[in-house]
A and B are shown apart, each in its own frame.
Chain A
Amino acid sequence: MSEAISPRVPLRVAPRALPRVPTGQDHEDLTKHGIKVTAADVNFFYSEHQALYGINLAVPKNCVTALIGPSGCGKSTFLRCLNRMNDMIDGTLLRGKILLDGEDIYQRGTDVVELRKRVGMVFQKSNPFPKTIYENVAYGPRVAGVKKSVILEEIVEKCLQQAALWDEVQSRLNDSALQLSGGQQQRLCIARALATDPEVLLMDEPASALDPKSTAAIEDLIFELKDTYTIVIVTHNMQQAARVSDQTAFFYEGHLIEVGRTTDMFTHPREKRTEDYITGRFG
């Protein structure tokens, strides 16, 4: 990454022309809306390989939490624990608790389908369905039981607009999504996740394949969304973490090294490793 960052320079770039966000207020008290998701002593195993060690993390409601850390440190693994996506992989095991609104999502009898309607996800690798652009976005609402095409059309347009894709695709909604470019596919996946209107949105490097303009659009979107959603985002871009997040968690080799308010973390990291990482000295 070319944009090494000095930790002493406050990085909180002024929110890009978004007057609706009350300045500063969002940083005063992260937990003023309460806690949405809590990880309590989470250990995670891929068969024999332990990928997460005793993670304790509170995700405040209506805030953006950024997960940062070097490649392979377990960011995606942790994110995928939050909607039980790791259940899909044979031989995985989670010890500990993950609470959504105070309820353990790993307890017996959890309705995983219902859980995933509440906790949406944008994957690290974009994975559009081999269907039309329209059908990709409409899929979530459809499985949730929305049948009226007027409503579906409305949702599709709104979500594509939010994901900054509408202008590019509005004239070809019935083309295959696989014809889109990599960055467009990524935004389509974001639109698709928004269409189910989840309470929590997990985003795994949502801007990794995007040009600066679409990245800015997605960051604006994240800013807007946090009025209604709780967002957890994985990013390798320190400036992005600094720009969009309220809370940052630094992972290293499966351990949560440090978590705190983004402004604090980027100006006065408590841990040496955190400082080294965010200044680009390793990772």
Chain B
Amino acid sequence: MSNLTTAPHLSKIALPGAKLRTYWEHCIHGILLACATISIITTIGIVVILLVESLQFFREVSIIEFLTGTKWSPLLKPQHYGILPLFCGTFLVTAGAAPIAIPVGLGTAVFLSEYATPWLRDVTKPVLEVLAGVPSVVFGYLAVVLVSPLIKAIFPSADIFNAANASVVVGFMILPTIVSISEDVLRSVPRSLREAAYALGATKLDVTVGVVVPAAMSGIMASFLLAIARAAGETMAVTLAAGGTSKLTLNPLESIQTMTAYIVQVVLGDTPAGTPEYRTIFAVGLALFMSTLVLNVLAQWILTRVREKYE
């Protein structure tokens, strides 16, 4: 071809194969962008729905009453819209789960990262993953058939469904979160720090307690926060085990209702949609979402700073 107007190297770029490839690249880009957009839109959509419905609710019920009222009975006359009892229920379960999950979880993490032989670690970690994979409904009925009779045997005055039942199983449910994140941050403490301590005549316990754990402390705290956020959002086990009586109490042996359990009750019940009673679930959902969001953001912020510290 002796066409003077087309430079030979240009015709190469215009080959049909190359065109197809560029087209394909664009397609991939588009598909991936669509995926990302879906998750972003979903998130925004959920927040918007929560906000809009809650605003609607707060037009009918004052936000002051909602946040400070000590009685919660939207489904019964006379209606009360004080979220404190539900908040208290969630708090009770979480506060009861933490003293179980935090020491056991941290202990396990320290054991795995500092003491366990590689073999033992390889055995233990999959077991923890299995624990993390147990469906929460299983935890829920274990609470009812196993934990509840036990608690009743120790404290005969306890209700059959009570906050403590839920606390115990939720404690075990959030254990894997604490273990896996804490172990990660413990192991990311540089070996040079451990060496520095050993070189000063420190024992293994000195090194672990005095150097490694403090160096990893912020990450460990983050794991606690994430676990607590999980506990607060946990639904199935608390719905089954904690009872369904919204009550402003700090006695873990009493039947209570958490924010999540209340939402389940309304959604499964026969409350007509569009009524203020029904809209309570959006307001409660928003309150719950805000609390766990704060915990999550705080934890992520801490974890990012931990990563920066050793990189």
A in complex with B? yes
Give the complex CA separation of A144 and B197 in angstroms: 12
> Is A130 a contact partner of B215 (Cβ separation < 8 A)?
yes
Give which listed residue, B199, B203, B309, contacts A120 with CB less than 8 A. Answer: B199
Give the distance in Å from the alpha carbon of A143 to the alpha carbon of B196 in the complex: 13
CB neighbours of A142 from chain B (8 A) = 210
Which residue of the partner chain B has the closest CB to A136?
B196
Distance in Å from the Cβ of A135 to the closest Cβ of chain B?
9
- Find chain B residues with CB under 8 A from A125 CB: 192
Q: How far is the CA of A181 from the CA of B215 in the complex (A)?
A: 20
Determine the distance from Cα of A120 to Cα of B196 in the docked complex, in whole angstroms.
10
Partner of B193, one of A113, A120, A127: A127
Q: Are A130 and B201 in contact (CB under 8 A)?
A: no
Instruction: Decide: A116 and B214 in contact? CB cutoff 8 A.
Output: no
Q: Is B197 touching A117 in the complex (CB atoms < 8 A)?
A: no
Contact B194 A143 (CB under 8 A): no
User: Closest CB-CB distance, A273 to chain B, in whole Å?
Assistant: 31
A122 — nearest CB in chain B belongs to which residue? B199
A73 CB to nearest B CB, Å: 21
Query: By the criterion CB–CB under 8 Å, are B200 and A131 in contact?
Result: no
Contact of A139 with B197 in the complex, beta carbons under 8 Å: yes
The 0/1 profile, CB within 8 Å of A marked 1, for residues 173-205 of chain B is 000000000000000001111111111111100
A192 at the interface (CB under 8 A from B): yes
Nearest CB on B from A105, distance (A):
14
Interface range, A side: 20 to 34
Residue B211 interfacial (CB < 8 Å): yes
Question: Does B206 sit at the interface, judged by CB under 8 A?
Answer: yes
Whether B200 lies near A127 (C-beta < 8 A) is no
By beta carbon, the residue of chain B nearest A87 is: B198
Q: Does A114 contact B (CB under 8 A)?
A: yes
Bound: A113/B203 CA distance, A:
6
Give residues of chain B (26-73) contacting chain A, Cβ–Cβ below 8 Å. Answer: none
Q: Are B201 and A88 in contact (CB under 8 A)?
A: no
Q: Are A196 and B200 in contact (CB under 8 A)?
A: yes
A165 to B59, alpha carbons, bound, how many Å?
66
A195 partner residues in chain B, CB cutoff 8 A: 200
Contact between A129 and B197 (Cβ–Cβ < 8 Å)? yes
Contacts of A83 in B (CB 8 A): 199
Q: For the complex, what is the distance from the CA of A72 to the CA of B22, rounded to whole Å?
A: 49
B195 touches A196 (CB 8 A): no
Question: Which residues of chain A in 104-139 are interfacial with respect to chain B, using CB atoms and an 8 Å cutoff?
Answer: 113-114, 116-117, 120-121, 123, 125, 127-131, 139
User: Closest residue to B192 on the A side, CB-wise?
Assistant: A127
Decide if B198 touches A116 in the complex (CB within 8 Å).
yes
Q: A88-B191, A130-B215, A143-B210 are in contact. Are A117 and B196 (CB under 8 A)?
A: no
A151 within 8 A of B: no
Check: A234 CB closer than 8 A to any chain B CB: no
Report how many residues on chain B are interfacial, defined by Cβ distance under 8 Å: 20
Please tell me if the beta carbons of A143 and B198 are within 8 angstroms of each other in the complex: no
Known contacts: A88-B191, A127-B195. The answer to whether A144 contacts B215 by CB under 8 A is no
Contact between chains at A129 and B215 (CB < 8 Å)? yes
In this complex, which of B191, B192, B199 has the most chain A Cβ atoms within 10 angstroms of its Cβ? B199
- Find the A residue at minimum CB distance from B206: A143
Q: How far is A113 from B215 in the complex, measured between Cα atoms in Å?
A: 22
Q: Which residues from chain B contact A249 at a C-beta distance below 8 Å?
A: none
Q: Is the CB of B199 within 8 A of A116?
A: yes
The answer on a CB contact under 8 Å between B193 and A139 is: no
A129, B193: Cβ atoms closer than 8 Å: yes
B195 with A85: CB separation less than 8 A: yes
A242 to B198, alpha carbons, bound, how many Å? Answer: 31
Which residues on A sit within 8 Å (CB–CB) of B199? 83, 85, 116, 120-121, 123, 193
A144 touches B201 (CB 8 A): yes
Whether the Cβ atoms of B194 and A192 lie closer than 8 Å is no
Partner of A123, one of B195, B206, B215, B309: B195
Complex Cα–Cα for A207 and B191 (A): 22
Chain A residues within 8 Å of B206, by CB: 143
Establish whether residues A140 and B194, one from each chain, have CB atoms under 8 Å apart when the complex forms: no
Chain B residues closer than 8 Å to A140, beta-carbon distance: 200-201
Is there contact, CB below 8 Å, between A113 and B202? Answer: yes
Report if A66 contacts B (CB, 8 A): no
For A113, the chain B residues whose CB sits under 8 A away are 201-203
Which residues of A lie under 8 Å from residue B211 when comparing CB positions?
Answer: 129, 139
Inter-subunit contact A143/B200 (CB<8 Å): yes
Q: Are B210 and A139 in contact (CB under 8 A)?
A: yes
B309 closest partner in A (C-beta):
A130
Report 22 cross-chain contacts, Cβ distance below 8 Å, ordered by A residue: A85-B199, A88-B191, A88-B195, A113-B202, A116-B198, A116-B200, A116-B201, A117-B200, A125-B192, A127-B190, A127-B195, A129-B196, A129-B211, A131-B214, A139-B210, A140-B201, A143-B200, A143-B203, A143-B210, A192-B196, A193-B200, A196-B201
Given contacts A117-B201, A144-B201, could you give 15 more A-B pairs where the C-beta distance is less than 8 Å? A85-B198, A113-B202, A113-B203, A116-B198, A116-B199, A116-B201, A120-B199, A123-B192, A127-B193, A127-B195, A127-B196, A131-B214, A139-B210, A192-B200, A196-B200
